[in-house]
């Protein structure tokens, strides 16, 4: 806890009011480029947690009956407010998380796309009907909201991931309890303020803060029906198991080790640019970062070009113009990445480019590491097996596409992969044989737009349904099937309650 009493505190949102927590436990929000303390975040007390869930439970009684058009109009207003405040949101995000301004704007924009999707809820939350399934009998389904839902979000996308969660949950008629990352909750809270301004009623959206104890409280609370999580594999596995054991629906998007397979016929310049941007952008702190490149056949000759392109990237504070790689979120994260770089060299990989300890004038205290490239990496090495979550690229080689596919499929993670080639036949073979949920063809980070669902798989995902798109409507609703039969006034009933389908 900081001793500086002038540092602002991050508030809770309970029943429509932004309130000061009564806790005695606080976490500092630190600017990763300067180490300046920006704010203090409370560890929500059990009483505050109970108040947030109770407010959401009470609000659900009326919110679930709010006309679908009225819900949609709130999100029409909300997307407008996000657009109007884009520069402010990006500046806050950069200050607390470290991303470059363009990356921060992209973070907000990809969340905004889901808000726009939520505004179309009238077309998304439709049931089905079959007329005359028997004589005078109709059967139809209703997609009805569950009740109180909750979301636990990570530090690396403090705007996008919250916007993946609460807009779709609320648009479908649920109420929501959101727990942002305690490392960078300020942009999330600004988005929450705009959501309240857009017209989300009191109690429909609530925000709590904290660490493990608050996460466990969300998983355990009997009045929370569904939990959505994005973050690390250990925490995601814990959340999924604990929430599931408590009888909740759970979806957990977790760690990754994403591979790019480069064929010899790939467009050289476009591929090199794609690798540099996806491996080192956002300082590698993306679950969809391309952290592994598999060079097939003659493309193994590209290693010097990859290193040369990486050297052109500028390391600096995120708000400085021309910055390509900003700082890591914390000193702990920096130490972890530096340790992995040391391990890679010790285990026998060739350190083609060492980004440790860059000189960044005016930001000597920042959590910086520059683009780092290893070649000669093998699947047994820790830098290949573990998710490093920094601007570190591992290069492997393969003699054929099939060998590369076998390598990718042997990895336990299944978040995303990409192939770079000019051959349609090769691309189709790759997408058919690869066992990964999201595939890019000459697209380095194949995150789908909200018309589709995020579909990570295998060790990168627990739960059947994705966090947005069509699948999230299923996640946040319960299907109710109604079979109905109506009689005219002069019809004579029967004691036989079995409906004949003949």
Which residues have a catalytic role annotated? Answer: 287
Nearest-10 crossing angle of helices 101-118, 86-97:
120
Whether 161 and 153 have beta carbons less than 8 Å apart is answered as yes
Q: Of 399, 357, 391, nearest to 374 (Cα)?
A: 391
Instruction: List alpha helices for 207-302, DSSP H.
Output: 212-220, 233-245, 268-280
Give the side-chain half-sphere CA count within 13 A for 111.
Answer: 29
CA distance 205 to 14: 8
DSSP percent split of the chain into helix, strand, coil, nearest 5? 40, 20, 40
- 442 contact partners, CB below 8 Å, separation of at least 6: 266, 267, 270, 271, 274, 418, 419, 420, 421, 427
Instruction: List alpha helices for 252-312, DSSP H.
Output: 268-280, 303-311
Residues 335-340: contacts with CB under 8 Å, at least 24 apart: 336/388, 336/389, 336/390, 337/369, 337/388, 337/389, 337/390, 337/392, 338/369, 340/382, 340/383, 340/386, 340/388, 340/390, 340/392
Question: Which DSSP state fits 175?
Answer: E
Backbone phi and psi for residue 453, each to the nearest 5 degrees, phi listed first:
-105, 150
For 398, the enclosing helix (H) or strand (E) is strand 392-398
Give the side-chain half-sphere CA count within 13 A for 463.
Answer: 31
Whether 186 and 87 have beta carbons less than 8 Å apart is answered as no
How much is the CA Rg of the chain, to the nearest whole Å? Answer: 25
- 74 contact partners, CB below 8 Å, separation of at least 6: 198, 199, 200
Provide the 3-class DSSP secondary structure of residue 251.
strand
Whether 261 and 439 have beta carbons less than 8 Å apart is answered as no
**β 224-230/205-207 pair status:** unpaired
CA distance 37 to 55: 32
113-118-123-128 Cα dihedral, nearest 10 degrees: 120
Give the side-chain half-sphere CA count within 13 A for 243.
Answer: 28
Q: Which residues pair with 289 in a beta bridge?
A: none
Q: Rounded to an integer, what is the distance from CA 497 to the centroid of its chain?
A: 49
């Amino acid at each position: 806890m900081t001793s500086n009493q002038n540092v602002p505190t991050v508030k809770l949102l309970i029943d429509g009011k932004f309130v000061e927590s009564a806790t005695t436990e606080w976490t500092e929000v630190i600017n990763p480029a300067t180490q300046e303390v920006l704010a203090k975040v409370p560890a929500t007390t059990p009483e505050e947690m109970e108040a947030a869930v109770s407010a959401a439970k009470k609000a659900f009684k009326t919110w679930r009956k709010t006309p679908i058009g009225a819900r949609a109009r709130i999100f029409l207003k909300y997307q407008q407010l996000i657009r109007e405040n884009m520069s402010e949101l990006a500046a806050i995000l950069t200050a607390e998380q470290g991303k470059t301004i363009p990356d921060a704007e992209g973070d907000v924009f990809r969340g905004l796309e889901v808000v726009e999707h939520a505004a179309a809820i009238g077309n998304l939350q439709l049931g089905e009907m079959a007329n005359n399934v028997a004589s005078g009998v109709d059967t139809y389904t209703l997609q009805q909201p569950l009740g109180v839902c909750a979301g636990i979000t990570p530090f690396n996308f403090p705007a996008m991931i919250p916007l993946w969660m609460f807009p779709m949950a609320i648009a479908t008629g649920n109420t929501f309890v959101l727990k942002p990352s305690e490392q960078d909750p300020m942009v999330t809270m600004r988005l929450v303020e705009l959501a309240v301004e857009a017209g989300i009623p009191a109690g429909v959206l609530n925000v709590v803060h904290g660490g493990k104890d608050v996460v466990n409280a969300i998983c355990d609370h009997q009045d929370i029906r569904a939990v959505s999580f994005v973050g690390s594999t250990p925490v995601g596995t814990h959340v999924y198991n604990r929430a599931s054991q408590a009888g909740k629906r759970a979806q957990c998007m977790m760690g990754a080790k994403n591979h790019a397979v480069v064929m010899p016929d790939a467009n050289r310049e476009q591929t090199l640019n794609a690798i540099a941007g996806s491996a080192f952008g956002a300082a590698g702190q993306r679950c969809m970062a391309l952290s592994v490149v598999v060079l097939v056949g003659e493309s193994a000759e590209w290693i010097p070009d990859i290193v040369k392109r990486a050297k052109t990237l500028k390391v600096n504070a995120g708000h400085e113009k021309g910055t390509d790689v900003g700082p890591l979120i914390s000193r702990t994260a920096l130490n972890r990445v530096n340790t992995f770089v040391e391990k890679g060299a010790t285990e026998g990989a060739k350190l083609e480019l060492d980004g440790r300890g860059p000189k960044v004038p005016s930001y000597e205290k920042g959590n910086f590491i520059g683009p780092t490239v290893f070649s000669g990496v093998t699947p047994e090495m820790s830098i290949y097996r573990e998710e490093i979550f920094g601007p570190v690229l591992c290069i492997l080689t393969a003699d054929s596409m099939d060998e590369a596919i076998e390598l990718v499929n042997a990895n336990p993670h299944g978040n995303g992969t990409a192939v770079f080639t000019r051959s349609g036949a090769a691309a189709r073979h790759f997408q058919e044989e690869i066992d990964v949920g999201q595939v890019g063809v000459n697209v380095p980070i194949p995150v789908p737009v909200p018309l589709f669902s995020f579909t990570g798989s295998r060790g990168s995902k627990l739960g059947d349904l994705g966090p947005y798109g069509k699948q999230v409507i299923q996640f946040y609703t319960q299907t109710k099937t109604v079979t109905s039969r109506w009689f005219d006034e002069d019809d004579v009933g029967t004691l036989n309650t079995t409906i004949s389908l003949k």
